Amino acid sequence: MLKTEGLSFSYNSSHIFTFPDILLQQGEDLLILGDSGVGKTTLIQILSGLLSPQSGFVEMNGTRFQNLSSKSLDQFRGSHIGMVFQKSHFVRNLSVLDNLLLSLYLSNKLQDKKRAIHLLQEIGLADKLNNMPDELSQGEQQRAAIATALIKTPDLILADEPTSSLDDNNCQKIITLLKEQASLTNAKLIIITHDQRLKDQFNTSIEL
């Protein structure tokens, strides 16, 4: 279960972002829509524990983020939360497959090479296993980035504008992939975006 209450954050005193409360059960999806500048990225960073809110709290599986030390929060995020960004980034000196293995290593999980290869095959990157991330097309890169987030079977998948730089065709593929994989591992999925194309794809959505 993911629960937030009374979240707010400000970068300076003149403007304060306040966010609606969220309650999400295991396996549920949530779409958060909002235009540029309403604090979408700020919210996703608070939800992932990268930023601490000025007021309110985030609680996941019974753990309040503010009660964790920064080191345990790093570990908690590593093992429970998978993140996907608008622009996909990788450790550029490692192959696609090695990026997946590094993600497993850093979240203290077994480096199961077979499972990593299987996942990449499933999302259509079977022939790109040993390619460098730079050698992939943008759509492929986004899929590979999702694979790096999913390989550690997180409880929560946080996607920040995962589709905004993609064409309609790739956009649809990515969303289907995210929803499929989330339901496969029974993970909560939160997508934050300004991309109106996604509006009809989710049952629950919040406007910021």
Partner 1 sequence: MNINRLSWINIIRNPFNTMLSLLLMAFGIGIISLILLLNKSVEEKLQRNLNGIDMVIGAKGSPLQLILSSIYHIDNPTGNILLEEVNKIKSNPMIESTIPLSFGDSYEGFRIVGTTHAYPKLFQVNFKAGKLWGKSMQVVVGSDVVEACQLKIGSTFYSSHGLVEGGEIHNKYAFKVVGILDKSNTIIDQLILTNSASISKVHNNKKHSSHTHEGVEGGCSVDHNEMITSLLVKFRSPVGLIKFPRQVNETTNLQAAVPAFEINRLISLLGLGLRSINMIGFFIILVSGLSIFISLYNSLKKRRYELALMRVYGASRFQLVKLVFQEGVLVSILGLFFGLLFSRVILFIVSFFISKNYSFYSIHLSLIKEELWLFPIALSIGLIASLIPIIQAYRINIPKTLTNV
Instruction: Name the site residues for partner 1 (rule: CB under 8 A).
Output: 41-42, 45, 48, 50-51, 71, 74-75, 77-79, 83, 85, 87, 89-94, 98, 101-108, 111, 148
Residues 9, 203: Cα–Cα separation, whole Å? 27
**Angle at the Cα of 158 from the Cα atoms of 157 and 159, rounded to 5 degrees:** 115
Smallest gap from residue 152 Cβ to partner 1 (A): 8
- Residue 94, class by beta-carbon neighbours within 10 Å (0-12 exposed, 13-18 middle, 19+ buried)? middle
Nearer to partner 1 by C-beta: 85 or 202?
A: 85
For partner 1, which is the closer residue by CB, 78 or 139? 78
Min. distance of Cβ 48 from partner 1 in angstroms? 7
* Shortest Cβ 70–partner 1 spacing (Å): 8
Which CB atom, from 108 or from 204, has the smaller least distance to partner 1? 108
Q: How far is the CB of 51 from partner 1 (least distance, A)?
A: 5
User: Phi and psi of 196, rounded to 5°?
Assistant: -65, -15
Closer residue to partner 1, CB minimum distance, 93 or 203: 93
Least distance CB 25 / partner 1 (angstroms): 24
C-beta separation of 1 from 160 below 8 A: no
The residue among 38 and 101 lying less far from partner 1, judged by its C-beta, is 101
Could you tell me if 120 and 96 are in contact, meaning their C-beta atoms sit under 8 angstroms apart? yes
Exposure of 195 in the CB half-sphere (CA atoms within 13 A)? 22
Q: Which amino acid is at 81?
A: I
